[in-house]
């Protein structure tokens, strides 16, 4: 199981900026190992975010997103105390969900 994500959600007025740091290798599938074999791609494909259980954001990523990806987006209408949960799924089918509270 991958390490937990670090999520920070800060409300300013009716907009909430959500910043996420995920922990993932994000192997591009272009790199070769010491013996010259291609390292197979291993990256996050789908990212979704929900506010109080309702999905508000989704994205699809390719292998060109950096290792330990950073993501920032702005949610409308969230207020302090609301729950933001982020889920990612990689191309090996592994997923992880973490939750944070809007402050």
37 binds other proteins (CB under 8 A): no
Among the listed residues 55, 49, 56, 46, the one whose alpha carbon sits nearest the alpha carbon of residue 24: 46
28 binds other proteins (CB under 8 A): yes
Determine how many CB atoms are found less than 10 A away from the CB of residue 95. Answer: 13
Quote the CA–CA distance of 42 and 45 in Å, as a whole number: 9
Near other proteins by CB under 8 A: residue from 10, 23, 58, 103:
58
Stretch of 3-11, 64-72, 80-88, 94-102 contacting other proteins, by CB under 8 A: 64-72
Near other proteins by CB under 8 A: residue from 10, 25, 67, 101:
67
């Amino acid at each position: 199981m991958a390490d937990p994500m670090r999520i920070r959600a800060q409300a300013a007025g009716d907009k909430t900026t959500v910043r996420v740091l995920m922990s993932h290798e994000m192997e591009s599938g272009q790199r070769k190992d010491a013996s010259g074999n291609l390292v197979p791609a291993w990256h996050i494909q789908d990212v979704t975010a929900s506010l109080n259980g309702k999905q508000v954001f989704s994205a699809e990523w390719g292998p060109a997103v950096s290792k330990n990806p950073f993501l920032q987006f702005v949610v409308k209408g969230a207020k302090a105390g609301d729950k933001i949960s982020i889920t990612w799924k990689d191309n090996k089918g592994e997923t992880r969900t973490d939750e944070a509270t809007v402050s």
